[in-house]
């Protein structure tokens, strides 16, 4: 029997972390956890309750309400993917909007939010056989992960990918708006005090600006094979 490991995938937004993580999880029969969805669900909760808007954010109210936030991933057979539930409501669509994207980094800066989500993420990994993607998986959540990948690509490449995803649902969206959101999130994610996005010393860096999805998958699968 091959040994089960923890695969940590970190990197900038829209670098295709989740595409790679899902492919690996399906191929290896592992659990996939999208930690960005958890931060997005908390941001969506804050929006729903009026704690955050374009020029207002009541951090204290959000912190006081954290124990009334229940997050669950429920596997959807048809989509072959675990969807995010916030207090028993499927919020998978709602958390992917540009509005949530524009608030989520501010929510992810809060140490109390991070502590709560990191603890839940660590509990999910106790059995190994897990692929988890995010910003701090190899550095904070699973510093002992057997394989750490750090993904990068230029901001314009990432904004183009994201724009193509969003424009089908929202035809009014512009490329510049998406690029601005990507650059803002990069800045906040790399400059926050608590667990900023950094490459772990022992992570393998993959710049996929010029790699196809299958090329990138083959590279990482080779790394996995060497370990297991």
Interacting residues with ligand DC (CB under 6 A): 13, 35-36, 39-40, 104-105, 108, 134-136, 185, 189
Break the chain down into helix, strand, coil percent, rounded to 5.
Answer: 50, 20, 30
Return the number of the residue (23 or 35) whose C-beta is nearest ligand DC. Answer: 35
Shortest Cβ distance from residue 162 to ligand DC (Å)?
9
Return the number of the residue (28 or 114) whose C-beta is nearest ligand DC. Answer: 114
Task: Please answer whether residues 52 and 106 qualify as being in contact, where contact means their C-beta atoms are separated by less than 8 angstroms.
Answer: yes
Return the number of the residue (104 or 145) whose C-beta is nearest ligand DC. Answer: 104
Shortest Cβ distance from residue 226 to ligand DC (Å)?
25
Helix or strand (DSSP H, E) at 107: helix 98-108
Return the number of the residue (29 or 63) whose C-beta is nearest ligand DC. Answer: 63
Task: Please answer whether residues 9 and 149 qualify as being in contact, where contact means their C-beta atoms are separated by less than 8 angstroms.
Answer: yes
Shortest Cβ distance from residue 225 to ligand DC (Å)?
26
Shortest Cβ distance from residue 213 to ligand DC (Å)?
17
Which backbone phi and psi does 209 adopt, to 5 degrees?
A: -55, -40
Which backbone phi and psi does 83 adopt, to 5 degrees?
A: -90, 155
Residues 35 and 199: their CA atoms lie apart, in Å, by: 17
- Bridge partners of 8? 132, 148
Return the number of the residue (28 or 138) whose C-beta is nearest ligand DC. Answer: 138
Shortest Cβ distance from residue 138 to ligand DC (Å)?
10
């Amino acid at each position: 029997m091959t040994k089960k490991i923890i695969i940590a995938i970190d990197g900038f937004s829209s670098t295709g972390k989740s595409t790679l993580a899902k492919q690996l999880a399906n191929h290896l029969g592992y659990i996939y956890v999208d930690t960005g969805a958890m931060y997005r669900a908390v941001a969506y909760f804050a929006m729903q309750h009026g704690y955050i808007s374009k020029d207002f954010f009541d951090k204290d109210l959000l912190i006081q309400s954290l124990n009334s936030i229940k997050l669950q991933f429920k596997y959807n057979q048809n989509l072959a993917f675990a969807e995010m539930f916030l207090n028993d409501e499927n919020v998978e669509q709602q958390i992917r909007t540009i509005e949530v994207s524009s608030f989520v980094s501010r929510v992810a800066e809060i140490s109390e939010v991070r502590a709560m989500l990191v603890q839940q993420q660590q509990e999910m990994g106790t059995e190994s056989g897990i692929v988890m993607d995010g910003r701090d998986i190899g550095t904070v959540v699973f510093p002992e992960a057997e394989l750490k990948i750090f993904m990068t690509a230029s901001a314009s490449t990432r904004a183009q990918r994201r724009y193509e995803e969003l424009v089908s649902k929202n035809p009014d969206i512009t490329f510049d708006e998406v690029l601005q959101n990507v650059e803002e999130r990069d800045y906040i994610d790399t400059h926050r005090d608590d667990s900023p996005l950094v490459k772990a010393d022992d992570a393998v860096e993959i710049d996929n600006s010029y790699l196809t999805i299958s090329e990138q998958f083959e590279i990482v699968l080779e790394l996995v094979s060497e370990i297991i």
